[in-house]
Amino acid sequence: MEGMSPFILDDDAREALFVGARSNLKFADRPVSMDTIIEVWDLIKWGPTANNTVPLRLVAATSDDARARISSHAAEGNRAKLKAAPLILVAARDERFHDHFAVTGGTETAAARFDADPEARTRFSHTNAMLQTGYLILGLRSAGLAVRPVGGFDRAGVDADVFADSPWRSEVLLLVGYPTDDHGAGDRKGRIDATAAIREI
């Protein structure tokens, strides 16, 4: 079987998820429905997280008002980019993920331990929410959507504005829309190849 592809997804699927997908700055003039976002969530929620904590939460800013509100907290260079996106998803971590252990299968002992250690909850939920954000990007792409992640924004500003009285804390913004012929993201930058990235021991 030498030379056979190791992949179970075909070329088109791998193109859509990785090789041909860009971090778009331009999107088609077509709204993204909440039904689609919900379907994508119901797919990507199956990706693994530590202790099955599933700490990622999403706030969808779909209206002009909501997008302007989120954009006001972005770094100067990101503001116009945010306004051009049909949908902004605020990807957030739930610092009280242990309140959901009845659903996610955590023990009462573990819940009590997390409850007593807010610093551990921040670290744990950050790591796993970012991991889930990776699944989310691929899930959105698998629904034919283009995504640009944006980390350049005032997290404390968004948290005070959107998450007051909530244990959710912003991690990253995802600009989401259907692609156009022109992705607007410029020439693609290089990636580290396997010879530099992988060592066998």
CB of 61 to ligand FMN, least distance (A): 16
* Of the candidate residues 90, 150, 158, 174, the single one contacting ligand FMN (CB under 6 A): 150
Residues 34-63 that bind ligand FMN (CB under 6 A): none
* Of the candidate residues 47, 86, 149, 167, the single one contacting ligand FMN (CB under 6 A): 149
- Whole-number Å distance between alpha carbons of 12 and 122: 38
Whether residue 74 contacts residue 155, with contact meaning beta carbons closer than 8 Å, is answered with: no
Nearer to ligand FMN, 9 or 75 (CB): 75
CB of 24 to ligand FMN, least distance (A): 8
Question: Is the Cα dihedral 99, 118, 49, 107 positive or negative?
Answer: negative
Closest CA to 148 of 180, 192, 189, 185: 185
Write the interaction track for ligand FMN spanning residues 158-197; mark x where CB under 6 A is met and - where it is not: --------------x------------x--xx--------
* Of the candidate residues 53, 78, 132, 170, the single one contacting ligand FMN (CB under 6 A): 78
Closest CA to 72 of 153, 150, 162: 153
What are 153's strand-pairing partners? Answer: 74
Nearer to ligand FMN, 121 or 183 (CB): 183
CB-neighbour burial class of residue 110 (10 A; exposed 0-12, middle 13-18, buried 19+): middle
Note the residues at the interface with ligand FMN (CB under 6 A): 22-23, 78, 81, 148-152, 172, 185, 188-189
